[in-house]
Every structure is written in structure tokens, then in C-alpha cells.
Amino acid sequence: MSQDLPSLPRRHLLAGGGAALAATSLAVWGRSAAAAETPVATAKPLPPYAGWKDATGLIVHSSTTVETRRHVFGTSIVTPAEQLYIRNNLPPPDAAILADRDAWVLTVEGVKAPRPLTLRELKGLGLETVAMVLQCSGNGRGYFPSKPSGTPWQVGAAGCVMWSGVPVRWVAEALGGVTEGMKFMTGTGGEVLPAGVDPKTVVVERSVPTAAMADALLAWEMNGAPIPLAHGGPLRLIVPGYTGVNNIKYVKRLAFTAQESDARIMSHGYRMSPPGGKGDPSQPSVQEMSVKSWINGPGTDGKPLKAGAVQVHGVAFGGLHPVAKVEVSLDGGKSWHMARFVGPDLGRYAWRQFVLATRLPVGEFTLASRATDTAGNVQPEVRLENAGGYNNSSWADHAVRVTVA
């Protein structure tokens, strides 16, 4: 064998700098199936702050929106950081905020003894770890025929991630408890706001019901490493069961409040508006996730499958309720077969991986999956139409066509 570093095509060095070189190294040494099997002409390079990711497994929509390719989702339940999607509402802060992670300061309000806490202090207050589906509110938007504005995500604005940090309720207790009458937990992101505009129109600030505090974390670690800048490090508010936007990156303020935030991203953004309409505070906010599943393989990489035995696999989750069962259809929803859960159960907020063992003859097949949660909610056939293209859990939209040759 050769221990030499492979020679790198010069165009890679020119095209994308360190990011492209890192991705090339990954591909050569077997870190990516996609790299080895289906070279992908990435339309846009990864943004520098995410240059450590596996470019071959991702669709780069923009410098703040990056999606995991469907066939890249593996069967190991936890989504590795290199594959995880990115959705930043604003450009991330400068990486200098990671120079001394423990010095990061969180302001806490709406408690009886409010005071700022450093990340170092937070680490002393408690430790918990949760496995959680992190999913963008607009995941599946790409399947809306109405083409709502926003990133046309397919399945890949989601992942199952391990977070470690201190439970929010312990932080509140350490500061005397939540002040009476506070109905919301409001987190404010630490992004640098553009100059010359009303901060309320751009700040990333979201409110969730205080009930969500029960399982919420102030997290400093993701998947075994300090949270990368792309995912909200040094400190992120984690609200299991709630869509991505509610999990505030670079969280600098945690406030228990009587009212929802009046930031535009809360009052008008992420609302379930009627088709053609605009968001306003009277409409339901996009917060809790609902039961959903999709099939990840095999045959989703665009290459024909070989006829014979296959293991049809995917992921399923229930939002606030654990997922109870998954059915799989090989004929676009005409008939259904009970799938089997595979691997350990990582808890109520994680996704389960499911599999259906079957044999496929030569032909074309539309594979679909339909999950049911423990509360009896069934993943619907039809999406709930809305102007923003949010919360798409339609099993029909998420069906995938594969060719068996």
C-alpha cells in the first residue's frame, strides 16, 4: 500500500481553498460513500465556517442553508456533524467567539434572582444529554407545488443529534425560580445585527411555552464535541420536539416572559399563514413538530438497484410524542407493510430507524412510509397547505421512486 498523500487536482485547490481540500481528503480515505460512488458536482462551495463538512454529502443552497442528501443518511441513528444540515437565519458571528468558550455570557431574566452566567458557571450547574431530532421548520418545502419562498428543502434539513448541557430548569432554580406569571421561555441569538435597521426586524428571538422548559437544555456540546460555530456554539438553547428555529444559536439571553417576543421572526415569521397570505401574530406559530417519517434507501442515489433482496430503511419521529409504529409501502401507498425498528431507542425526542425486508423484481417502485405516534397521530397523506411551506409531513410528498434493473 501507499502511505503517500494522494496528489490533489489543482483545480480543487483553486476552486474552494481549504474547504475543498478537506472534502477531497475525506473522499479519498473513505469517509464518504457518495464521494467514492457518485462524484457530485456541487453547484456552490461550502461556506468557510462549514468547510469541515463532507461536501459530497450535502446540497449547498446558500452560505447559510445547506442540506443533507437523502441517500447519505445512514442507518446509525445519530447524524454525524459532517452530514448535518445548516440553517442560519443570519450569518454566524465571527469565529472569535469560540476563542474562549467558557467566557461566553448568558443573561437570564424573568427569574427571582437574575444575573449573568458564564458558560463556565453553567457547566457547574448540571449535566444532561439528550438525543433529539433537529429539523428546520421548512423541511419538505421543496415538495410544495406552490413553490413558497424560502429554501426548497427536501428531506435533508433534519438530523438526529446528541446534545449535552445543563437543563434550563436547573438554571432557573439556581436563580431563585421563574417569576410568577411568566408564560414563555424566550431565547435571543448572539448574531451581529446589520447596522441601520430596526433590530426587532432582524434579531433571532423566539418564544416557546414555559412547559417546553421541562426538557430544554443550554447546550455546549453536540455529538461529542464542543458545538461548532455553524451549529450555534459556544452555547445553544435546545428545545426538544420543537422545530429548528426555536433552538437559539449563540444564545446570549434567556428570558421568562409574560408575552411572546415582539421580534419580527416571532410575530410574523414562521406562522401558518393561508396560501398566498402573509404571516401575522393571529396565526399559529411554527413550533412543535408532528409525526413524520421518510425512506432513505436503498436506491435513492439515482442508481438502479439490483433485483432481489433489499432492506428498505428510513427514519421516523413523533415530535412531542415518541413514534409507535411505521408502515412501508412499495406501491405508492396502495398497500402497506409493518416495518421493524432497528437499533437502540435513544429516547422520545430521537428518531427511530426502521426497516422492511423485502424482495424487489425488475421495475419501478414508489417507496413510501407512514408513521404513527404513541398518541395515535398518523402521518397524513396530504400536506397542510400554507404560505411559508412549513411543517410538511405528507407521506405522499416524501415518497421516493426507485428503479430496479
Footprint of a copy of itself on 275-314 (CB under 8 A): 298, 306, 308-311, 313
Rule CB under 8 A: is residue 225 a binding residue for a copy of itself? yes
3-state helix, strand, coil in the chain (%, to 5): 20, 30, 50
Q: How far apart are the first and last CA of the chain?
A: 35
Distance CA 344, CA 390 (A): 30
Specify the 3-state DSSP secondary structure of 198: coil
Stretch that binds a copy of itself, among 143-151, 161-169, 182-190, 200-208 (CB under 8 A): 161-169
**Of the residues 338, 342, 375, 382, which one makes contact with a copy of itself according to CB under 8 A:** 342
For residue 229, the number of C-alpha atoms closer than 13 Å in the C-beta half-sphere is: 19
Question: Which residues are 159's β-sheet partners?
Answer: 134
Stretch that binds a copy of itself, among 228-236, 259-267, 316-324, 372-380 (CB under 8 A): 228-236
Contact call for residues 306 and 339 (beta carbons, < 8 A): no
Rule CB under 8 A: is residue 120 a binding residue for a copy of itself? yes
**The three grid cell numbers given for residue 385, joined into one nine-digit string:** 397547505
130 or 216: CB nearest a copy of itself: 130
Residue 96 CB, nearest approach to a copy of itself (Å):
9
Rule CB under 8 A: is residue 79 a binding residue for a copy of itself? yes
112 or 120: CB nearest a copy of itself: 120
Contact call for residues 265 and 248 (beta carbons, < 8 A): no
Considering only residues 319-338, where is the footprint of a copy of itself by CB under 8 A? none
Stretch that binds a copy of itself, among 209-217, 281-289, 343-351, 364-372 (CB under 8 A): 343-351
**Of the residues 38, 63, 107, 267, which one makes contact with a copy of itself according to CB under 8 A:** 63
Considering only residues 80-109, where is the footprint of a copy of itself by CB under 8 A? 80-83, 91-95, 98-101
Pairing of β 58-62 and β 217-222? unpaired
Query: Which has the closest alpha carbon to 373: 314, 315, 316?
Result: 316
**Of the residues 124, 176, 275, 277, which one makes contact with a copy of itself according to CB under 8 A:** 124
Q: How far is CA 281 from the centre of its chain?
A: 25
Distance CA 346, CA 359 (A): 30
Report the sign of the C-alpha dihedral through residues 342, 346, 348, 353, in that order. Answer: negative
Rule CB under 8 A: is residue 233 a binding residue for a copy of itself? yes
Residue 281 CB, nearest approach to a copy of itself (Å):
31
Contact call for residues 132 and 240 (beta carbons, < 8 A): yes
Query: Which has the closest alpha carbon to 59: 49, 48, 50, 46?
Result: 46
Taking residues 190 to 209 in sequence order and writing x for each that binds a copy of itself by CB under 8 A, - otherwise, the string is: --x-----------------
Contact call for residues 381 and 369 (beta carbons, < 8 A): no
Rule CB under 8 A: is residue 31 a binding residue for a copy of itself? yes
Taking residues 238 to 277 in sequence order and writing x for each that binds a copy of itself by CB under 8 A, - otherwise, the string is: ----------------------------------------
Q: How many residues bind a copy of itself (CB under 8 A)?
A: 95
Stretch that binds a copy of itself, among 118-126, 141-149, 263-271, 386-394 (CB under 8 A): 118-126
